[in-house]
């Protein structure tokens, strides 16, 4: 964190308070910190759900307006996460790695193969085993950007920066694919009237920016209205966040800081420090027992998710990259090695936020399958994280100094 504001420790005044606030916000923008918060919330959820089941369920099902707290976290708070993801996608499409597809061809193909192969593995297992539920095919598709980058930053900081760029591009394209899957396959009872409301809100969002109008008191109510329209349209409400993020300006005619940069800077700490951890608190609380752990490898849903994330991601990411390099003119960055891409392909198996969300959407009204899917996501993510950590440490140890 360069140029981080100095925090005054003993003298309390408004300047010190401002410095404290800025320092905390900068801290929350660190991938390692956001990953740690998400992991901590998941651990608390697991302990709470298993040691205080009644209180955990009571809080999850506590009604607040039209939804209970668990659904507010999934439909409401995650919209903030998806808004930040939409801002990141917009920046990458216009001025970042994805603005020149030829240079990003390897990670782009790797991302698509890394989504297709896990889904295929899941479908094959669930079509061939008794009691299979193939509708959960999208669960092992997702890679969690925050967790993956946090692990790479912790154990692979001495590896080339191009490896982080490869993982970031892969994870962004993966997120875009997962968002598209949620919008197309997990939306029901579509209302065209409410969708017109979404279009009107989105058009006004664009118009206000092109007119140079600023002020959170204008954009925040408009974003809430767009979310309400999306929620009532039958399309998953979080898609409103993605749409508004993608429609945010990333370039200014006369230079200067764009809305994408300003809003991502403002909302990323809120997403990392509040929205995603709260979602993890309500989504990761599943009962854990020896029988349930055994079910992970005998139930077709659990087995499909675990093999999809741990094995399918490696085959898809590494295989897609290698085939692209072999049959096209695309090449790895000059300072990268295939062994390091192999380590990152294992890291791509850490699916958490979006995978847990899809686990809920894939089995509506079937909590037993939701719990199996969520448990499998947690187990697979932990296994992929451990294997990737070991591989990254080995890659760091054996890499010759530059």
Burial of 183 (0-12, 13-18, 19+ CB in 10 A): middle
Q: What percent of the chain stands above pLDDT 70?
A: 91
Q: Which residue do the tokens 């979602």 mark?
A: 279
Do residues 323 and 316 make contact, with C-beta atoms less than 8 angstroms apart? no
Do residues 282 and 69 make contact, with C-beta atoms less than 8 angstroms apart? yes
pLDDT at 292 over 90: no
Three-class secondary structure of residue 291 per DSSP? helix
pLDDT of amino acid 188? 75
> Whats the size of the chain, residue-wise?
402
Do residues 145 and 381 make contact, with C-beta atoms less than 8 angstroms apart? no
Do residues 98 and 168 make contact, with C-beta atoms less than 8 angstroms apart? no
Query: CA 297 → CA 291, 300, 373, distances in Å?
Result: 10, 8, 12
Output the average pLDDT for the chain: 86
Do residues 277 and 259 make contact, with C-beta atoms less than 8 angstroms apart? no
C-alpha 312/C-alpha 143 separation (Å) is: 12
Containing 305, the helix (H) or strand (E) segment is helix 300-307
Q: Please give the residue that has the higher pLDDT: either 142 or 116.
A: 116
pLDDT tens-digit map of 10-52: 344 444 445 555 556 666 666 677 878 888 898 999 899 999 8
């Amino acid at each position: 964190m360069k140029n981080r504001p100095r925090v005054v420790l003993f003298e309390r005044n408004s300047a010190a308070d401002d410095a404290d606030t800025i320092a905390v916000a900068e801290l929350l923008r660190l991938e390692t910190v956001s990953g740690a918060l998400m992991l901590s919330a998941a651990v608390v959820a697991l302990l709470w759900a298993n040691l205080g089941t009644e209180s955990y369920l009571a809080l999850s099902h506590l009604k607040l307006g039209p939804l209970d707290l668990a659904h507010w976290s999934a439909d409401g708070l995650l919209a903030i996460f998806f808004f930040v993801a939409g801002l990141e996608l917009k920046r990458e499409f216009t001025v970042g790695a994805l603005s020149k597809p030829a240079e990003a061809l390897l990670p782009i193909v790797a991302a698509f193969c890394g989504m297709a192969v896990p889904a295929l593995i899941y479908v094959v297992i669930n079509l061939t085993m008794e009691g299979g539920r193939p509708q959960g095919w999208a669960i092992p598709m997702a890679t969690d950007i925050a967790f993956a980058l946090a692990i790479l930053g912790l154990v692979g900081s001495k590896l080339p920066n191009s490896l982080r760029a490869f993982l970031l591009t892969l994870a962004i394209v993966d997120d875009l694919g997962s968002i598209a899957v949620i919008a197309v396959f997990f939306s029901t009872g579509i209302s065209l009237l409410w969708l017109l409301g979404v279009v009107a809100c989105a058009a006004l969002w664009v118009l206000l920016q092109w007119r140079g109008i600023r002020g959170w008191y204008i954009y925040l109510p408009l974003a809430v209205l767009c979310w309400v329209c999306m929620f009532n349209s039958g399309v998953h409400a979080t898609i409103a966040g993605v749409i508004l993020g993608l429609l945010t300006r990333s370039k200014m005619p006369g230079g200067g800081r764009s809305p994408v940069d300003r809003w991502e800077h403002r909302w990323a700490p809120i997403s990392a420090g509040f929205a995603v951890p709260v979602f993890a608190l309500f989504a990761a609380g599943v009962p854990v027992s020896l029988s349930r752990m055994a079910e992970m490898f005998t139930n077709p849903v659990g087995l499909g998710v675990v093999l999809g994330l741990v094995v399918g991601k490696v085959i898809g990411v590494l295989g897609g990259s290698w085939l692209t390099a072999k049959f096209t003119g695309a090449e790895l960055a000059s300072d990268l090695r295939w062994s390091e891409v192999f380590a990152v392909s294992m890291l791509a198996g850490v699916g958490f936020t979006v995978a847990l969300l899809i686990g809920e959407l894939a089995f509506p009204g079937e909590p037993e399958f939701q719990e199996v899917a969520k448990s499998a996501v947690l187990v697979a993510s932990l296994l992929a994280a451990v294997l990737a950590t070991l591989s990254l440490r080995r890659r760091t140890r054996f890499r010759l100094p530059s």
